[in-house]
Amino acid sequence: MRGGTSMGLFAGTSARNLGWGRTLAYAGRAILQARFGGGHYSSVASHTERWRVFASWARTQAGIRDLRAIPPELLVQYADHLKAEGRAVSTIQNRLSTVNVILDYAREGHWEPVSPRALSGAARSAVRTQPPRALDAGRVEAARTALQQAGLHRAAAVLGLARTFGLRSEEAAKADLDRLAKEAARLGRINILDGTKGGRTVPRWVAVTPAGQQALQAALAARPPGSVNLLAPTESYKGWRQGELRAGRALLQAQGLPGYHDARAAYACERYRELTGHPAPAVTGGRRTAERDTDRTARAIIARELGHGRVDIAAAYVGSAR
């Protein structure tokens, strides 16, 4: 335990924001006060303001309101957001450093800091070092069943599509399910076009496995009447994200899954094994066991299937290439 009074160990805790408060912003401020022992007023004030901005972004853009639900890849997205806003490299590094400081203290050594320097420039290296919990098929099935029993059938469909096709939540919600079903039947693969990050239109084909076929059928059964996707004709994605999708995320966490994103990472790790014949480095404790060329080829395929333009982002899903 760190110096001072800890409000809740990260490992095994079920308390919202690890016991530091009901909101992300408040929790961050409380953590900083504990971290700096009530002193270093200037540093605490600077960190507090940076954290407030991050907490607001995480809530509105990713639907995340809990310290337990923040994965390393979220910081990759945050860095991209800051770069798109034209922020200075120093500003990006400072904001990411603040997130590292708070999460490292809150999780008491269980947070793997990402590199602000790497994320603020051309190179990106948020590296996953732990296996996704959604690799456990039994855990995913239990979570899916719990969602359905709670009446969150569309959230359950998002979980299934994320796990079997590597879709982002927005992609799963906005996917033209009729088109995907036809492509799956005719071609044995589907092209991810709807709800993509930045409106990307580059072909992104993903193979349909038996599990993927089941996920598609479940999504078709869960969609509202008169809709081609998981959103009702009069419903916005933002409104649904703040309603059923958020409720589903809380239930996933209760079932031991960090969120829908974890299923996407599990898809990537599973694909890595299929493509290389070796477990992903994130599964082996950070050790790459596949040949370097095989590893590089697999990462390129996985990055493309996940909808990323850069191969190095695969490290946030499957682990280090070293």
Q: Write out pLDDT tens, residues 153-170.
A: 999 999 999 999 999 999
Give me 180's structure tokens. Answer: 């995907």
- Same domain as 248, residue 219: yes
Helix (H) or strand (E) holding 305: helix 292-306
pTM: 0.65
The total domain count for the chain is 3
Q: With bands split at pLDDT 50, 70 and 90, how would you rate the model's confidence at 124?
A: very low
Helix (H) or strand (E) holding 189: strand 189-191
Which position has the higher pLDDT, 297 or 62? 297
What does the alpha-carbon distance between residue 191 and residue 206 come to, in Å, rounded to a whole number? 6
- Of 73, 94, 120, at which residue does a domain stop? 120
- Same domain as 238, residue 140: yes
Q: What is the mean pLDDT of residues 121-138?
A: 78
- Same domain as 254, residue 267: no
Q: What is the mean pLDDT of residues 297-302?
A: 96
Which position has the higher pLDDT, 239 or 209? 209
Q: Please check whether residue 109 lies inside any domain of the structure.
A: yes
Which position has the higher pLDDT, 166 or 253? 166
**Sign of the CA dihedral running 228, 234, 240, 241:** positive
- Rounded to the nearest angstrom, the gap between the alpha carbon of residue 110 and the centroid of all alpha carbons in its chain is 17
Q: What is the mean pLDDT of residues 234-252?
A: 90
Range of the domain at 98: 16-120
Q: With bands split at pLDDT 50, 70 and 90, how would you rate the model's confidence at 4?
A: very low
Q: What is the mean pLDDT of residues 3-30?
A: 70
Q: Please check whether residue 88 lies inside any domain of the structure.
A: yes
**Sign of the CA dihedral running 311, 315, 318, 320:** positive
- Same domain as 241, residue 146: yes
For the segment 29-78, what is each residue's pLDDT rounded down to a tens digit?
Answer: 999 988 888 777 778 888 999 999 999 999 988 889 999 889 888 888 88
- Same domain as 221, residue 143: yes
